[in-house]
Amino acid sequence: MNGSSHANDQLIVSDDPQHPANHICTLCRNFYNLGWVTGTGGGTSIRKGPHIFIAPSGVQKELMQPENIFVLDYATRSYLRKPPVLKPSACTPLFMAAFDRGAGCCIHTHSQWAVLVTLLVERDAAQNGEKLGDKCFEIEMIEQIKGIPQGRGKQGMLGYFDKLRVPIIENTAHEEDLTSSLEVAMDRYPDTYAVLVRRHGVYVWGDDVQKAKTQAER
């Protein structure tokens, strides 16, 4: 994807691979190779100080270049940098919900594992005659749990015998319409760092990029 030069390019030009504009492109390339952001689905957003860096909508996320990245001023919610032609990710209001709750990075994937989990929970609920309403994916006694923090503002990680609960929300026709149910789930489960979207994927966030990435990989 080629970008043209325009205002506020200094916000996205850096030799530092950890700069959010570079980092989002690298992460999305890696997520593509994991099968997490196939087609044009999924995306990643990073907060750095007063700025939110956001991938464009409807593009092959593995092909993005730093010049394709949008920059939003967190305080005013106005765009400081808008690449021409492109639109910001439809996930933007969902990413903002994570930033409003202290996240430094939010990752949305269409991981087939995440989708499968939501289908299994749906099937189990149907078999048991239970309503789907407030269903979570629950798991315990699995090593990977030890890499998930206890919760925001809490010290330490979950232990092997702890139960990890990941809320599941229902999918909507348009990504941005997920915002209110994502916010309800985030507030009902304040310790969670992820919300599954039934028949769609997952949102995972963390205090910083490294934590969001490793928590998404669990």
As a whole number of Å, the CA-based R_g of the chain is 17
Which 169-198 residues touch ligand L4RZE5RM, going by CB under 6 A? 175
Q: Is residue 176 annotated as a catalytic residue, yes or no?
A: no
Q: Does 35 bind ligand L4RZE5RM (CB under 6 A)?
A: no
110 labelled as ligand-binding? yes
Q: Does 89 bind ligand L4RZE5RM (CB under 6 A)?
A: yes
Candidate list 143, 170, 175, 176, residue with the active-site label: 143
Min dist CB 173 to Zn ion, Å, is 12
Q: Does 106 bind ligand L4RZE5RM (CB under 6 A)?
A: no
The stretch near ligand L4RZE5RM (CB under 6 A) out of 66-74, 89-97, 133-141, 180-188 is: 89-97
200 labelled as ligand-binding? yes
Q: Does 90 bind ligand L4RZE5RM (CB under 6 A)?
A: yes
Site pattern 31..60 for Zn ion (x: CB under 5 A)? ----------x-------------------
Longest dimension (CA), the chain: 58
Angle formed at CA 21 by CA 15 and CA 22, multiple of 5 degrees: 50
Q: Which is nearer to ligand L4RZE5RM, 80 or 90 (CB)?
A: 90
Backbone angles phi, psi at 216, to 5 degrees: -65, -35
Min dist CB 204 to Zn ion, Å, is 12
Please identify every residue annotated as catalytic: 143
